[in-house]
Amino acid sequence: MDGESSRDGVGARHPGKEHLAVVALTLLLGGSVVARLGQYTAEQAGPAIVLSLLLAALAAGLVLCCLQAVRVQRPDADGLHGLLVASWGSGPAGLLGAALLLELVATAAGVGQSVALHLQAVLASRGISADTWLPGPLLAAAGVLLLGMFAVLPPRRAALLVCALLTMKIGIGMLLLALAARHVHYAHWIPWLPEATAPYHFGLGGVFAASMSLLGVFASVGLALGFPGLRTRRVSQQPRVLAAMVLLAMLLLILLAALQAGLVAFPALASTRPLSVALQSHPELLWLLPLLPFAGAAGLAALLLVLVLLAAHLAAAMWPVAGEEARGPGRTLVTVVVVLVSAVLALWVPMGWLPVLPGPVTLLVTAALCLGALRTRHRAEVSRCSRWMATMPVLAPVAAALCLVSAVQLLRAWPG
């Protein structure tokens, strides 16, 4: 993993495109994505959640094509904020950047709360009740402080830590697939598409509604373009790496969704935790249950670290003074401020009110970048990417519209 960065001369402090892939996978799988799949399975798509995943991945591919067009046209732009400034000017870019920064900080706090809940679930599976001597908000704030401080490491080392955490999550998922696949019965996949019982409740309407919500998860991978320290010489390859990560994550989530639908009959999936319900129906798989919250905690810890890195880099890019000092004490100061604000939110905001995945503002910024391809396409040089540039008048508005619809879906689902 480190070899390519060394050969490219990136140095010991800067990540390469392989680290970008880790960050992209973290944004896709690091949070409660599997739990969200369970929610959409129970409430909207049923066993046809696999179809929703396919539609969401196709829509995310369209969005990434537009991001690639903007990135190729503006190779000298500094991350997300630089692309926004180049596409819309400093005023709109400042508003969108400030809103995105607030969402990233709030999401980091929400992730800290979710980590606390997962750790309490792991302890509860061992008969230890941690809530009596360590309340959830206090544990969440301590977790944000502990994990967030790793963000002061050089970006490359922080990415390696994220890689280690994400390996634990994916490893447990692959173990689950390998051990539970023999218990899948094809008859449980019938009916594949349950009849609609209410508006957007199962049926084709439910499949499309779930796909638009899942698009918000897949499209958040575009945030990886703002990961600090990435080189700009190969910016044309970055969206390709992101697209590959979307494909890999889609395949893994489809396998998990098909697994939970094949272990038990469909009525048993009418739960917000269908994977746990499916495992409980097979006594020989019960020992895997404590591993599920442990995998979730590892993925969430990786996500928290990535969100803090992105928020600190965005803040440094928005304020020139902080940006000039970001290579030294200034960068550390910005990171510490982001971590402290997130810890305060995790301590004082009620559990469950904060998001645990990038949400509406991220999609709004992504939509703005997609439309930015229309504003700058006349500047593109004739190259092998010119055929993509020619399709932007059609693709960019469609991608932006999909992002906005997904943002509305996420706002409606926000419990706060």
Report the C-alpha gap between 92 and 83 in whole angstroms.
12
* Reported confidence tier of residue 12, pLDDT bands at 50, 70, 90: very low
Q: Return the half-sphere exposure (C-beta side, CA atoms, 13 A cut-off) of residue 99.
A: 15
- Determine if residue 65 is left, alpha or beta; phi over 0 gives left, psi from -120 to 50 gives alpha, anything else beta: alpha
For the stretch 185-204, pLDDT in tens is: 888 887 778 888 777 778 88
> What is the pLDDT at residue 362?
93
- Which has the closest alpha carbon to 291: 111, 108, 122? 122
Averaged pLDDT for residues 127-132 = 69
Burial of 283 by CB count in 10 Å (0-12 exposed, 13-18 middle, 19+ buried)? exposed
> What is the pLDDT at residue 3?
42
Task: Look over the chain and give the mean of its residue pLDDT values, rounded to a whole number.
Answer: 81
The whole-model pTM stands at 0.86
Q: Which residue has the tokens 């009418």?
A: 270
> Hey, what CATH topology would domain 3-413 get?
Amino acid/polyamine transporter I (1.20.1740)
> What is the pLDDT at residue 236?
54
> What is the pLDDT at residue 342?
94
Higher pLDDT: 126 or 336? It is 336
> What is the pLDDT at residue 404?
93
- Which has the closest alpha carbon to 22: 157, 112, 129, 147? 157
For the stretch 355-392, pLDDT in tens is: 888 889 999 999 999 988 786 544 444 344 555 667 77
Is residue 280 over pLDDT 80? yes
Are 346 and 112 in contact by the 8 Å Cβ rule? The answer is yes
> What is the pLDDT at residue 400?
93
> What is the pLDDT at residue 323?
43
What is the domain partition of the chain in residue ranges?
3-413
Task: Name the least confident of 33-42, 81-90, 374-383.
Answer: 374-383
Task: Name the least confident of 159-168, 263-272, 380-389.
Answer: 380-389
Q: Give Cα 343 distance to the centre of its chain.
A: 20
> What is the pLDDT at residue 368?
93
* Reported confidence tier of residue 4, pLDDT bands at 50, 70, 90: very low
Report the C-alpha gap between 210 and 204 in whole angstroms.
10
Q: Using the Cα atoms of residue 298, residue 302, residue 303 and residue 304 in order, give the sign of their dihedral.
A: positive
Q: Is 405 helix (H, G, I), strand (E, B) or coil?
A: helix
Burial of 55 by CB count in 10 Å (0-12 exposed, 13-18 middle, 19+ buried)? middle
